[in-house]
Amino acid sequence: MYKILNGWFKQSRKLASPNYDLRPENTLIDAIIIHSISMPLACYEGDDISQLFTNQLDCDKAPSYAEVRGLKVSAHLLIRRTGELIQYVDLNLRAWHAGKSCLGHREKCNDFSIGIELEGTDQSVFETAQYDTLIEVVKALLIYFPHISKEHIVGHSDVAPGRKTDPGTGFDWDELFSRL
């Protein structure tokens, strides 16, 4: 069973990102936003995602990286294809993962959500090891943040429609919810 201690998963590899800030005062964390990411696209080797989230990415390394040059982004968590869990931001702080976003009538989803990146693309099928880790992570989050409801476990595409499409068609929502 995954454990959270002082905002950090005990089972995670910790790589602190500078890209975070305080949540607005008295904000209840009540949502999880699931994303997908790979760098470069469909490449699952190396540490480019971590380098992006820690402002260490060499943007001259790949032509597609020009679009992220100068961006300051992060997520709370990344689940690699192997199921490895990496944590960048204390869960109690605001990671910069959702951008311009809206869930129901509330904008600025970073204020009240946990951002989980899955290593993959909008079209990729995710690995069993990723689902195994994701299920354990979500179960621990539901205990740590009791205001999160299953209805507020959503994709980036749900909070930024027309702008984002992740986690994509390869993500199996039934697998996630049937195992919670």
The residue extents of the domains of the chain are 4-179
Average pLDDT over residues 168-178: 97
Give the per-residue pLDDT at 60: 96
Q: What CA–CA distances, in Å, run from 136 to 54, 77, 113, 122, 169?
A: 25, 13, 17, 22, 22
CB-based contact 89:17 (threshold 8 Å) = yes
81-123 confidence digits (pLDDT tens): 999 999 999 999 999 999 999 999 999 999 999 999 999 999 9
In this prediction, residue 20 carries a pLDDT of 98
pLDDT in tens, 49-65: 999 999 999 999 999 99
**pLDDT tens per residue across span 36-53:** 999 999 999 999 999 999
CA 5 remoteness from chain centre:
19
- Give the helix/strand (H/E) hosting 32: strand 31-37
**Topology adopted by domain 4-179:** Lysozyme-like (3.40.80)
Q: Which tens digits make up the pLDDT trace of 121-168?
A: 999 999 999 999 999 999 999 999 999 999 999 999 999 999 999 999
pTM tops 0.85, yes or no: yes
pLDDT of residue 89: 99
Catalytic residue annotation: 117
Q: What is the pLDDT of residue 98?
A: 98
Helix (H) / strand (E) element for 73: namely: none
- At 74, the pLDDT band (50, 70, 90 cuts) reads very high
